Amino acid sequence: MKPTDLVHLGYALAYEVDYFITSDRVLNEYRIPEEFKLIVITPDEAIKQFQ
């Protein structure tokens, strides 16, 4: 995980987006507090979900 990955995740949380799409394995396992509705998914999962 790079520092910019955490910045992007921070923006996603701050702007209350629903999904954060990343191929970073560490971020895919990152535990988001339950207060946030953000779901971290892989690009493949996003393709399947939004087709």
pTM value > 0.95 = no
User: What's the number of domains the chain is made of?
Assistant: 1
Tokens 């998914």 found at: 41
Cα–Cα dist 49/4, whole Å: 26
Q: What is the mean pLDDT of residues 2-26?
A: 91
- For residue 8 the two structure tokens come to 């992007």
Handedness of CA 37, 42, 45, 47 (dihedral sign): positive
The pLDDT of residue 14 is above 90: yes
Each residue of 26-49: pLDDT tens digit?
888 889 999 999 999 999 999 999
What letter does residue 30 receive in the DSSP assignment? P
Confidence of residue 22 (pLDDT cuts 50, 70, 90): very high
Output the average pLDDT for the chain. Answer: 91
Which structural domain, as residue segments, surrounds residue 28?
A: 3-50
